[in-house]
Protein backbone atom coordinates (compact mmCIF):
# COMPACT_ATOMS: atom_id res chain seq x y z
CA UNK A 1 0.00 0.00 0.00
CA UNK A 2 1.48 3.33 -1.05
CA UNK A 3 -0.96 5.55 0.82
CA UNK A 4 -3.61 4.76 3.45
CA UNK A 5 -5.89 7.17 5.22
CA UNK A 6 -7.83 6.35 8.36
CA UNK A 7 -10.40 8.71 9.83
CA UNK A 8 -9.73 9.85 13.38
CA UNK A 9 -13.40 10.03 14.29
CA UNK A 10 -13.91 13.65 13.27
CA UNK A 11 -16.16 14.68 10.40
CA UNK A 12 -13.99 15.37 7.36
CA UNK A 13 -15.30 15.57 3.80
CA UNK A 14 -12.19 17.11 2.26
CA UNK A 15 -10.38 15.59 -0.78
CA UNK A 16 -8.05 12.60 -0.75
CA UNK A 17 -5.06 14.68 0.29
CA UNK A 18 -6.63 16.79 3.03
CA UNK A 19 -5.29 19.36 5.49
CA UNK A 20 -2.35 17.07 6.19
CA UNK A 21 -1.42 17.11 2.50
CA UNK A 22 2.12 18.47 2.94
CA UNK A 23 3.05 15.59 5.22
CA UNK A 24 1.23 13.08 3.01
CA UNK A 25 3.01 14.26 -0.12
CA UNK A 26 6.39 14.06 1.56
CA UNK A 27 5.71 10.50 2.67
CA UNK A 28 4.67 9.46 -0.82
CA UNK A 29 7.58 11.32 -2.40
CA UNK A 30 10.04 9.40 -0.23
CA UNK A 31 8.68 6.12 -1.59
CA UNK A 32 8.59 7.38 -5.20
CA UNK A 33 12.21 8.56 -5.09
CA UNK A 34 13.28 5.00 -4.33
CA UNK A 35 12.24 4.10 -7.87
CA UNK A 36 13.46 7.23 -9.63
CA UNK A 37 15.26 10.16 -8.05
CA UNK A 38 14.11 12.49 -10.83
CA UNK A 39 10.39 11.81 -10.40
CA UNK A 40 8.24 14.75 -9.33
CA UNK A 41 5.18 14.64 -7.09
CA UNK A 42 2.32 17.08 -7.70
CA UNK A 43 -1.02 17.72 -6.11
CA UNK A 44 -3.78 17.93 -8.71
CA UNK A 45 -6.65 20.41 -8.64
CA UNK A 46 -8.87 17.56 -7.42
CA UNK A 47 -6.61 16.96 -4.41
CA UNK A 48 -4.97 13.77 -5.67
CA UNK A 49 -1.29 12.91 -5.82
CA UNK A 50 0.20 12.76 -9.31
CA UNK A 51 3.65 11.36 -9.98
CA UNK A 52 5.38 12.82 -13.04
CA UNK A 53 7.97 10.31 -14.25
CA UNK A 54 10.95 11.72 -16.17
CA UNK A 55 11.61 10.90 -19.81
CA UNK A 56 14.62 8.73 -20.61
CA UNK A 57 17.67 10.45 -22.00
CA UNK A 58 18.19 10.33 -24.87
CA UNK A 59 14.49 10.43 -25.67
CA UNK A 60 13.30 7.21 -27.29
CA UNK A 61 12.13 7.11 -30.87
CA UNK A 62 8.35 6.65 -30.99
CA UNK A 63 6.31 4.99 -33.73
CA UNK A 64 2.57 5.70 -33.81
CA UNK A 65 0.68 3.05 -35.81
CA UNK A 66 -2.69 4.05 -37.32
CA UNK A 67 -4.65 1.48 -39.38
CA UNK A 68 -7.27 2.94 -41.74
CA UNK A 69 -9.67 2.15 -44.53
CA UNK A 70 -11.76 4.57 -46.60
CA UNK A 71 -12.13 7.24 -43.95
CA UNK A 72 -10.37 10.36 -45.10
CA UNK A 73 -12.24 12.73 -42.76
CA UNK A 74 -11.54 10.99 -39.45
CA UNK A 75 -8.01 10.01 -40.51
CA UNK A 76 -7.28 13.65 -41.34
CA UNK A 77 -8.60 14.70 -37.93
CA UNK A 78 -6.42 12.09 -36.21
CA UNK A 79 -3.25 13.01 -38.10
CA UNK A 80 -3.70 16.74 -37.69
CA UNK A 81 -4.28 16.38 -33.95
CA UNK A 82 -1.10 14.30 -33.62
CA UNK A 83 0.82 16.92 -35.57
CA UNK A 84 -0.59 19.74 -33.46
CA UNK A 85 -0.13 18.13 -30.06
CA UNK A 86 3.27 16.52 -30.36
CA UNK A 87 5.38 19.46 -31.51
CA UNK A 88 6.94 19.77 -28.06
CA UNK A 89 8.52 16.35 -28.50
CA UNK A 90 11.75 17.65 -30.13
CA UNK A 91 9.72 19.10 -33.01
CA UNK A 92 8.74 15.69 -34.31
CA UNK A 93 12.27 14.53 -35.03
CA UNK A 94 12.05 11.61 -32.63
CA UNK A 95 8.80 10.03 -33.71
CA UNK A 96 7.04 8.79 -36.81
CA UNK A 97 3.50 7.97 -37.85
CA UNK A 98 2.85 4.74 -39.75
CA UNK A 99 -0.52 4.81 -41.50
CA UNK A 100 -1.55 1.31 -42.59
CA UNK A 101 -4.01 1.38 -45.48
CA UNK A 102 -6.25 -1.70 -45.55
CA UNK A 103 -7.60 -1.81 -49.12
CA UNK A 104 -9.02 1.71 -49.36
CA UNK A 105 -10.93 2.47 -52.58
CA UNK A 106 -12.39 5.90 -51.79
CA UNK A 107 -10.75 8.45 -54.17
CA UNK A 108 -10.60 11.15 -51.49
CA UNK A 109 -8.89 8.77 -49.07
CA UNK A 110 -6.38 7.57 -51.67
CA UNK A 111 -5.52 11.15 -52.63
CA UNK A 112 -5.00 12.09 -48.98
CA UNK A 113 -2.81 9.04 -48.33
CA UNK A 114 -0.68 9.89 -51.34
CA UNK A 115 -0.27 13.46 -50.15
CA UNK A 116 0.73 12.72 -46.56
CA UNK A 117 3.06 9.92 -47.67
CA UNK A 118 4.92 12.34 -49.91
CA UNK A 119 5.24 15.11 -47.30
CA UNK A 120 8.85 15.00 -46.12
CA UNK A 121 8.87 18.50 -44.62
CA UNK A 122 9.72 17.95 -40.94
CA UNK A 123 8.54 21.49 -40.19
CA UNK A 124 5.03 20.06 -40.56
CA UNK A 125 5.64 17.60 -37.74
CA UNK A 126 6.67 13.95 -37.66
CA UNK A 127 7.53 11.88 -40.68
CA UNK A 128 4.62 9.86 -42.05
CA UNK A 129 4.91 6.57 -43.89
CA UNK A 130 1.97 4.90 -45.60
CA UNK A 131 2.07 1.11 -45.55
CA UNK A 132 -0.26 -1.16 -47.53
CA UNK A 133 -2.04 -4.19 -46.10
CA UNK A 134 -3.78 -5.67 -49.16
CA UNK A 135 -5.68 -8.48 -47.48
CA UNK A 136 -9.02 -8.84 -45.63
CA UNK A 137 -9.25 -6.91 -42.36
CA UNK A 138 -7.21 -8.49 -39.56
CA UNK A 139 -6.49 -6.01 -36.79
CA UNK A 140 -3.79 -8.18 -35.23
CA UNK A 141 -1.97 -8.83 -38.50
CA UNK A 142 -2.13 -5.17 -39.51
CA UNK A 143 -0.54 -4.02 -36.26
CA UNK A 144 2.06 -6.80 -36.26
CA UNK A 145 3.13 -5.87 -39.79
CA UNK A 146 3.45 -2.20 -38.88
CA UNK A 147 5.37 -3.07 -35.69
CA UNK A 148 7.95 -4.93 -37.78
CA UNK A 149 8.34 -1.86 -40.01
CA UNK A 150 8.51 0.60 -37.12
CA UNK A 151 11.85 2.18 -36.24
CA UNK A 152 10.74 3.37 -32.80
CA UNK A 153 11.73 1.97 -29.44
CA UNK A 154 8.18 2.67 -28.25
CA UNK A 155 5.07 1.66 -30.19
CA UNK A 156 1.75 3.46 -29.97
CA UNK A 157 -1.28 1.71 -31.46
CA UNK A 158 -4.00 4.21 -32.32
CA UNK A 159 -7.36 3.86 -34.03
CA UNK A 160 -7.81 6.34 -36.84
CA UNK A 161 -10.91 7.69 -35.08
CA UNK A 162 -9.05 9.04 -32.05
CA UNK A 163 -8.14 12.71 -31.64
CA UNK A 164 -5.43 14.13 -29.37
CA UNK A 165 -6.62 17.01 -27.20
CA UNK A 166 -3.61 18.42 -25.32
CA UNK A 167 0.10 18.99 -25.97
CA UNK A 168 1.82 16.96 -23.24
CA UNK A 169 0.07 13.59 -23.67
CA UNK A 170 3.10 11.97 -25.30
CA UNK A 171 5.45 12.96 -22.47
CA UNK A 172 3.01 11.47 -19.94
CA UNK A 173 2.75 8.19 -21.86
CA UNK A 174 6.51 7.88 -22.35
CA UNK A 175 7.21 8.63 -18.71
CA UNK A 176 4.94 5.73 -17.77
CA UNK A 177 5.83 3.18 -20.45
CA UNK A 178 9.58 3.67 -19.93
CA UNK A 179 9.43 2.65 -16.26
CA UNK A 180 10.90 -0.75 -15.38
CA UNK A 181 8.23 -3.39 -14.96
CA UNK A 182 5.52 -1.58 -16.91
CA UNK A 183 3.88 -3.46 -19.79
CA UNK A 184 0.98 -1.83 -21.66
CA UNK A 185 -0.15 1.75 -20.99
CA UNK A 186 -3.63 3.02 -21.79
CA UNK A 187 -5.03 6.55 -21.78
CA UNK A 188 -8.30 8.30 -21.04
CA UNK A 189 -10.68 8.14 -23.98
CA UNK A 190 -13.76 10.33 -24.12
CA UNK A 191 -16.76 10.21 -26.42
CA UNK A 192 -17.33 13.41 -28.44
CA UNK A 193 -19.93 14.46 -25.84
CA UNK A 194 -17.22 14.45 -23.15
CA UNK A 195 -18.30 11.29 -21.36
CA UNK A 196 -15.91 8.43 -20.61
CA UNK A 197 -15.38 5.72 -23.24
CA UNK A 198 -12.30 4.04 -21.79
CA UNK A 199 -10.78 4.08 -18.31
CA UNK A 200 -9.13 0.67 -18.35
CA UNK A 201 -10.61 -2.80 -18.82
CA UNK A 202 -11.99 -5.17 -16.18
CA UNK A 203 -11.83 -8.90 -16.85
CA UNK A 204 -15.15 -10.74 -16.78
CA UNK A 205 -17.24 -7.58 -16.90
CA UNK A 206 -20.11 -8.25 -19.27
CA UNK A 207 -18.46 -11.44 -20.51
CA UNK A 208 -14.78 -11.71 -21.40
CA UNK A 209 -13.94 -8.10 -20.53
CA UNK A 210 -15.64 -4.73 -20.20
CA UNK A 211 -15.11 -1.00 -19.77
CA UNK A 212 -15.79 0.25 -16.23
CA UNK A 213 -17.40 3.67 -15.77
CA UNK A 214 -18.24 3.94 -19.46
CA UNK A 215 -20.51 6.95 -20.11
CA UNK A 216 -19.56 8.55 -16.77
CA UNK A 217 -19.12 12.31 -16.91
CA UNK A 218 -15.59 12.94 -18.14
CA UNK A 219 -14.56 15.29 -15.33
CA UNK A 220 -16.15 13.30 -12.52
CA UNK A 221 -13.89 11.60 -9.94
CA UNK A 222 -15.32 8.15 -10.61
CA UNK A 223 -15.29 5.34 -8.07
CA UNK A 224 -13.00 6.47 -5.20
CA UNK A 225 -11.26 8.96 -7.52
CA UNK A 226 -10.46 6.26 -10.08
CA UNK A 227 -10.91 8.60 -13.05
CA UNK A 228 -8.42 11.11 -11.64
CA UNK A 229 -5.49 8.88 -10.72
CA UNK A 230 -3.02 6.62 -12.50
CA UNK A 231 -3.71 3.03 -11.51
CA UNK A 232 -2.93 -0.54 -12.49
CA UNK A 233 -5.42 -2.46 -14.60
CA UNK A 234 -5.53 -5.92 -16.14
CA UNK A 235 -5.90 -4.55 -19.67
CA UNK A 236 -6.33 -1.44 -21.80
CA UNK A 237 -7.96 -0.94 -25.18
CA UNK A 238 -6.04 -1.26 -28.44
CA UNK A 239 -7.66 1.98 -29.60
CA UNK A 240 -4.80 3.76 -27.82
CA UNK A 241 -2.22 1.35 -26.41
CA UNK A 242 1.48 2.00 -25.81
CA UNK A 243 4.26 -0.51 -25.22
CA UNK A 244 8.00 -0.82 -25.70
CA UNK A 245 8.79 -2.50 -29.01
CA UNK A 246 11.20 -4.97 -27.43
CA UNK A 247 8.49 -6.13 -25.03
CA UNK A 248 5.91 -6.34 -27.84
CA UNK A 249 8.26 -8.64 -29.70
CA UNK A 250 9.01 -10.63 -26.54
CA UNK A 251 5.28 -11.24 -26.05
CA UNK A 252 4.82 -12.35 -29.66
CA UNK A 253 2.69 -9.37 -30.68
CA UNK A 254 -1.05 -9.76 -31.28
CA UNK A 255 -2.71 -13.06 -32.15
CA UNK A 256 -3.32 -13.09 -35.91
CA UNK A 257 -4.93 -16.54 -36.01
CA UNK A 258 -7.37 -16.76 -33.11
CA UNK A 259 -8.12 -13.08 -32.43
CA UNK A 260 -8.54 -11.37 -35.77
CA UNK A 261 -10.79 -8.51 -34.63
CA UNK A 262 -11.75 -8.65 -30.94
CA UNK A 263 -9.86 -9.17 -27.66
CA UNK A 264 -6.39 -9.05 -29.25
CA UNK A 265 -5.61 -6.06 -27.01
CA UNK A 266 -6.83 -7.85 -23.87
CA UNK A 267 -4.84 -10.94 -24.83
CA UNK A 268 -1.67 -8.88 -25.30
CA UNK A 269 -2.14 -7.26 -21.89
CA UNK A 270 -2.72 -10.62 -20.22
CA UNK A 271 0.47 -11.93 -21.80
CA UNK A 272 2.29 -8.95 -20.30
CA UNK A 273 0.84 -9.73 -16.87
CA UNK A 274 1.78 -13.39 -17.20
CA UNK A 275 5.36 -12.33 -18.02
CA UNK A 276 5.57 -10.34 -14.78
CA UNK A 277 4.79 -6.83 -16.08
CA UNK A 278 2.14 -4.40 -14.84
CA UNK A 279 -0.32 -2.63 -17.13
CA UNK A 280 -1.63 0.79 -16.20
CA UNK A 281 -4.08 3.51 -17.20
CA UNK A 282 -3.43 7.24 -16.94
CA UNK A 283 -5.96 10.10 -17.00
CA UNK A 284 -3.19 12.60 -17.76
CA UNK A 285 -3.09 11.63 -21.45
CA UNK A 286 -6.45 12.12 -23.08
CA UNK A 287 -8.04 11.57 -26.50
CA UNK A 288 -11.49 11.92 -27.98
CA UNK A 289 -12.59 8.59 -29.46
CA UNK A 290 -15.12 8.66 -32.26
CA UNK A 291 -15.74 4.99 -31.55
CA UNK A 292 -16.25 2.47 -34.37
CA UNK A 293 -16.20 5.12 -37.09
CA UNK A 294 -13.73 3.04 -39.09
CA UNK A 295 -15.61 -0.23 -39.37
CA UNK A 296 -19.04 0.68 -38.01
CA UNK A 297 -21.19 -1.63 -35.90
CA UNK A 298 -21.36 -4.89 -37.82
CA UNK A 299 -24.24 -6.94 -36.42
CA UNK A 300 -24.34 -9.52 -39.21
CA UNK A 301 -24.58 -13.24 -38.50
CA UNK A 302 -21.04 -13.65 -39.81
CA UNK A 303 -19.73 -11.06 -37.37
CA UNK A 304 -21.65 -12.62 -34.47
CA UNK A 305 -20.16 -16.03 -35.27
CA UNK A 306 -16.66 -14.55 -35.47
CA UNK A 307 -17.11 -12.81 -32.11
CA UNK A 308 -18.31 -16.06 -30.53
CA UNK A 309 -15.21 -17.85 -31.83
CA UNK A 310 -12.91 -15.19 -30.43
CA UNK A 311 -14.67 -15.25 -27.07
CA UNK A 312 -14.22 -19.03 -26.99
CA UNK A 313 -10.54 -18.63 -27.85
CA UNK A 314 -10.07 -16.26 -24.91
CA UNK A 315 -11.87 -18.58 -22.50
CA UNK A 316 -9.82 -21.56 -23.70
CA UNK A 317 -6.57 -19.63 -23.31
CA UNK A 318 -7.13 -17.76 -20.06
CA UNK A 319 -9.91 -19.76 -18.37
CA UNK A 320 -10.76 -18.76 -14.81
CA UNK A 321 -8.43 -15.77 -14.94
CA UNK A 322 -11.15 -13.95 -16.86
CA UNK A 323 -13.44 -14.24 -13.83
CA UNK A 324 -10.94 -13.08 -11.22
CA UNK A 325 -9.60 -9.63 -12.10
CA UNK A 326 -6.95 -8.84 -9.44
CA UNK A 327 -7.65 -5.10 -9.79
CA UNK A 328 -11.42 -5.35 -9.25
CA UNK A 329 -13.02 -6.22 -5.92
CA UNK A 330 -14.90 -9.53 -5.87
CA UNK A 331 -17.80 -7.85 -4.05
CA UNK A 332 -18.50 -5.57 -7.03
CA UNK A 333 -20.74 -6.59 -9.89
CA UNK A 334 -19.51 -7.78 -13.27
CA UNK A 335 -22.98 -7.35 -14.78
CA UNK A 336 -22.72 -3.56 -14.90
CA UNK A 337 -20.01 -0.96 -15.43
CA UNK A 338 -20.75 1.36 -12.48
CA UNK A 339 -18.93 -0.43 -9.60
CA UNK A 340 -22.21 -1.36 -7.93
CA UNK A 341 -22.19 -3.98 -5.20
CA UNK A 342 -22.82 -7.43 -6.66
CA UNK A 343 -25.34 -8.29 -3.95
CA UNK A 344 -27.35 -5.15 -4.61
CA UNK A 345 -27.50 -5.89 -8.33
CA UNK A 346 -28.63 -9.47 -7.67
CA UNK A 347 -31.34 -8.35 -5.27
CA UNK A 348 -32.65 -5.75 -7.72
CA UNK A 349 -33.36 -8.34 -10.40
Instruction: Check residue 95 and give its pLDDT.
Output: 87
Cβ neighbours, 10 Å, residue 47: 15
Peptide bond connecting 58 to the previous residue in cis, omega within 30 degrees of 0? yes
Instruction: Check residue 37 and give its pLDDT.
Output: 83
Instruction: Check residue 122 and give its pLDDT.
Output: 60
Confidence of residue 4 (pLDDT cuts 50, 70, 90): low
Strand partners, 129: 98
Q: Between the CA atoms of 191, 71, 132 and 305, what dihedral angle is there, to the nearest 10 degrees?
A: 70
- Is a pLDDT exceeding 70 seen at residue 183? yes
Q: Specify the 3-state DSSP secondary structure of 41.
A: strand
CB burial readout 154-187, b (16+ within 10 A) else e: bbbbbbbbbbbeeeebbbbbbbbbbbeebbbbbb
What tens digit of pLDDT does each residue of 49-60 get? Answer: 899 999 999 999
- Closest alpha carbon to 208 in 291, 104, 320: 320
Cβ neighbours, 10 Å, residue 335: 13
- Is a pLDDT exceeding 90 seen at residue 166? yes
Percent residues over pLDDT 90 in the chain? 71
Instruction: Check residue 27 and give its pLDDT.
Output: 79
Q: Contact, 157 vs 186, CB < 8 A?
A: no
Q: Specify the 3-state DSSP secondary structure of 218.
A: coil
Q: How far apart are CA 210 and CA 189, in angstroms?
A: 14
Please provide the average confidence, as pLDDT, over all residues in the chain: 89
- Is a pLDDT exceeding 80 seen at residue 247? yes
Instruction: Check residue 13 and give its pLDDT.
Output: 45
- Is a pLDDT exceeding 80 seen at residue 349? no
Mean pLDDT of 183-212: 96
Q: Specify the 3-state DSSP secondary structure of 128.
A: strand
- Closest alpha carbon to 132 in 113, 150, 118: 113
Instruction: Check residue 292 and give its pLDDT.
Output: 54
Question: Which of 30-39, 86-95, 106-115 is the least confident region?
Answer: 86-95
Confidence of residue 216 (pLDDT cuts 50, 70, 90): very high
- Is a pLDDT exceeding 50 seen at residue 17? no
Cβ neighbours, 10 Å, residue 143: 27
Amino acid sequence: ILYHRQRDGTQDDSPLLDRRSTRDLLNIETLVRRENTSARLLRTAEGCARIVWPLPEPRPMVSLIVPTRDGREHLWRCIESLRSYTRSYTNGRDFEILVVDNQSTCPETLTYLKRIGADTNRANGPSIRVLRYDRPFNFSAINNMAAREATGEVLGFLNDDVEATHPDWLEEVLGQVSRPGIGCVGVKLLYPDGNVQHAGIVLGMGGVAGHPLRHAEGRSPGYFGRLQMVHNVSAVTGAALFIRKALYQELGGMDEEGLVVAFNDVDLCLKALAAGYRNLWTPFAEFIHHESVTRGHDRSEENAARLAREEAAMVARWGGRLQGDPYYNVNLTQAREDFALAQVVRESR
